[in-house]
Structure 1
Amino acid sequence: MYFKFIICFILFVAITCNSLDDWQKFKHDYNKQYKTVEEEAERKQIFLRNMENMKEYQRTHPDATFTMKINHLTDRRSKELVTGSKFFSNIHSEKNQKSIQIESNVPTSLDWRDKGVITGVYDQGQMGTASAIAAVEVIESYHAIRTKNLVKGSISQVINCCPEDTNIFDCILTKLGGSICGATFYNSSSAACDRDACQPVAAFNKINRFEPANEDTMLTIIQESPLYIGIDASQIGFEMYTQGVYRDKGCSQTTIDHTLQLIGYGESSGIPYWLCKNSWGTNWGDRGYIRIERGVNTCGIANIVEQVEYIDVTDVTDVTDVTDTTDVTGDAVRQFTFNGLSLALFCFVLHLFSNL
């Protein structure tokens, strides 16, 4: 009896010491400094709880298709990382059936980073501005595809003008005319929305929405430019993801609490995936990116899908404004005159032959 108690006590002490070692290493690796002793104690408890949840997930999912590890966000609660916006919550849509039939004209893989139209990974910190970041990224990429010039847009300007509980692209069109400032040129002195703070560097005037979307449709439209998508990012697997293809039946397909830029797709070890860019810094995930299983609406990835476009009015031909300046009457007269002369010449020749 006492022997079992001693063994259990030793195991408890060993586990506790390992957890404390993990905590000290975490603080050192990510240079964590807290303002008060109370704050550090609170963050420590969150860290230990997240560590326990990660180990429990790994224990109960030995065949997981992705790996997890400690990152700089392990001392954060889930609600600090995702948005509480009602705009994203409770999106009800039909589940997409698994459909990975790739048409012959669609490449088997795509990564828009290879084409030089994706900016570096942002770190939203504790601002809760994922929708603004993802929207600016989509506009940046579309502008780069259209003009061959990649510029970083001002996230601060969009945050000042468009709160989290609005549709971000509608807001940018309404309040900013579809244009955004460059990150290095926006110098608003206050948090107020300032449309004229600088000369815009990128623009759009059309929003293409696919809500809810079929993932085969997404496969087609991403050939044109990266997409803005919503997802449930509240699970421990997502928060501590590092590599592999994220597949988690525990996440929701109808409650969306985070947004990403979808920049490509492919297949790994027989599992089709979407390639997404997150806004949690390069210490998270695969240098800031995540591969999410494709074809089964994983975590609601197909429920909110948006894309921007710029329609140049000079390229649109209005047939009602086209005037045909051809002189039809003149052509008819000239044709009639030519035919009359030909007939007269024919009759004259016929008359000569008849007198021979």
Structure 2
Amino acid sequence: MVCSYAVRRLAKKQHGKSYHSTEEEHLRMNIFAHHLKMIEEHNAKFEAGLVTYSLAMNHFGDMLPEEVPQLGFDTTGEMMQEPSFTFLPPANVEIPESIDWRQLGAVTPVKSQGSCGSCWAFSSTGAVEGQLFRKTGKLVSLSEQQLIDCSGSYHNTGCDGGRIYSSFTYLMDAEGLEKEDSYPYEALNGTCRYNKDKVVPGTKLKAYTNIRYRDDDALKAAVATVGPISVGVSANHDHFRFYKGGVFNGDTCKYMIDHAILLVGYGSENGEEYWLVKNSWGAAWGEGGYIRFKRSIKNICSISSMASYPVLQ
């Protein structure tokens, strides 16, 4: 495939791409052009009303799927660990038709994990941030870097991947999490410098709770009555990577769970029910950093296969 000047200009100027050799540039521009064609063809279907979501070019444009660093969810043994509790939907409680924990004040601004496979840390802190808000009424941005640097002995491997339950188990043993400001994000593996005197009061855990496997109704009840929920999904496919907006129907999802994100609500638009999910790829991705998954498809992209939340002390 011979790439046009327009493709090169788009890749270099708008998306900041540069390369070490003409051979690498040729390879990367071919990949970029392939993705651009795929996006344009899909968006033509979107404009015609044939699909419910749109795509857009972004910084993944010149990468092969196996090169995408911004995943990092290690599911090895994730379901083997006995949870502290299993969520039971509350009896005699009416579950609302919609909920958005952003509007209720329980969700911090969208963050970016950069080129570090630390999605698990962002999902974990997001869930703790939500529970802390529900308990204290205060929204505090917590440190993902502390989890990256300090939870290695709990089977997490920093930027090379990690597990949500391992993060929660670490926080059951540690005194809690520091603020983002006092232990800032660096997008790389570092030496643990956690200071127990700087932890945010109330962020130590006494347990964590799993949602029943593949139970969408239980997941809906949990996010409605508990708050933001950590979930794992299948994300390493083109339509997720280049998602721009609308209700994602999961037509390109695989069975492998490879990414951790934060479920912050659900609702419907024009009769289309959706899950509202916060990603950690920055606000330029998706709908201001969020994606909506089609809720009428059971366990879409495995969203209800691996869901949990922390229980504060």
Same fold? TM cut 0.5:
yes
Secondary structure of the residue that 1:244 maps to in structure 2? strand
Secondary structure of the residue that 1:87 maps to in structure 2? coil
Give yes or no for contact 1:88–1:256 (8 Å, CA) kept in 2. Answer: no
Work out the CA distance in 1 between the residues paired with 2:56 and 2:133: 34
Give yes or no for contact 2:72–2:162 (8 Å, CA) kept in 1. Answer: no
**Matching residue of 2:236:** 234
**Matching residue of 2:85:** none
Instruction: Describe the superposition over 1:153-203 as per-residue Cα deviations: whole angstroms up to 9, x where unpaired.
Output: 111111112324553333443365261111111279982234436511133
Report the number of matched residues.
Answer: 285
Name whichever of 144-153 and 67-76 sits farther off: 67-76
Secondary structure of the residue that 2:181 maps to in structure 1? coil
**Matching residue of 1:258:** 259
Give the superposed CA RMSD: 3.1
Name whichever of 228-237 and 164-173 sits farther off: 164-173
**Matching residue of 2:174:** 177
- Following superposition, the deviation at residue 55 of structure 1 comes to 4.0
Whichever residue aligns with residue 183 of structure 2, its letter is Y
Instruction: Describe the superposition over 1:292-313 as per-residue Cα deviations: whole angstroms up to 9, x where unpaired.
Output: 01132111111010011224xx
Give yes or no for contact 1:46–1:76 (8 Å, CA) kept in 2. Answer: yes
Change in 2 beyond 3 A, CA 1:86/1:124: closer
Give yes or no for contact 1:231–1:299 (8 Å, CA) kept in 2. Answer: yes
- Following superposition, the deviation at residue 35 of structure 1 comes to 5.5
Instruction: Describe the superposition over 1:302-348 as per-residue Cα deviations: whole angstroms up to 9, x where unpaired.
Output: 1010011224xxxxxxxxxxxxxxxxxxxxxxxxxxxxxxxxxxxxx
2:258 pairs with 1:271: no
Secondary structure of the residue that 2:39 maps to in structure 1? helix
Whichever residue aligns with residue 54 of structure 2, its letter is T
Secondary structure of the residue that 1:292 maps to in structure 2? strand
**Matching residue of 1:218:** 219
**Matching residue of 1:291:** 292
Instruction: Describe the superposition over 1:219-272 as per-residue Cα deviations: whole angstroms up to 9, x where unpaired.
Output: 1111221000011112211111111100033312x3101111000100122111
Whichever residue aligns with residue 70 of structure 1, its letter is M
**Matching residue of 2:208:** 207
Change in 2 beyond 3 A, CA 1:156/1:188: closer
Secondary structure of the residue that 1:114 maps to in structure 2? coil
**Matching residue of 2:130:** 141
Whichever residue aligns with residue 183 of structure 1, its letter is E
Change in 2 beyond 3 A, CA 1:116/1:181: same
**Matching residue of 1:247:** 249
Whichever residue aligns with residue 302 of structure 1, its letter is S
**Runs of 5+ consecutive residues of structure 2 not aligned to the other structure:** 81-91
2:119 pairs with 1:130: yes
**Matching residue of 1:67:** 54
Whichever residue aligns with residue 251 of structure 2, its letter is K
Give yes or no for contact 2:230–2:309 (8 Å, CA) kept in 1. Answer: yes
2:94 pairs with 1:105: yes
- Following superposition, the deviation at residue 115 of structure 1 comes to 1.2
Q: Percent identity?
A: 26
Change in 2 beyond 3 A, CA 1:218/1:274: same
Give yes or no for contact 2:42–2:54 (8 Å, CA) kept in 1. Answer: no
Secondary structure of the residue that 2:198 maps to in structure 1? coil
Work out the CA distance in 2 between the residues paired with 1:178 and 1:48: 50
Give yes or no for contact 1:89–1:257 (8 Å, CA) kept in 2. Answer: no
Secondary structure of the residue that 1:179 maps to in structure 2? coil
Secondary structure of the residue that 1:222 maps to in structure 2? helix
Whichever residue aligns with residue 191 of structure 2, its letter is A
**Matching residue of 2:146:** 157
2:164 pairs with 1:168: yes
- Following superposition, the deviation at residue 122 of structure 1 comes to 1.2
Name whichever of 139-148 and 168-177 sits farther off: 168-177
Work out the CA distance in 2 between the residues paired with 1:132 and 1:116: 21
Question: Who wins on radius of gyration, i.e. which is larger?
Answer: 1
Q: Which protein is richer in helix relative to its size? A: 1
Work out the CA distance in 2 between the residues paired with 1:39 and 1:89: 38
**Matching residue of 2:32:** 47
- Following superposition, the deviation at residue 290 of structure 1 comes to 0.5
Work out the CA distance in 2 between the residues paired with 1:90 and 1:171: 11
- Following superposition, the deviation at residue 38 of structure 1 comes to 5.2
Alignment of 1:17-56 (within 5 A): 17=4, 20-34=5-19, 39-55=24-40
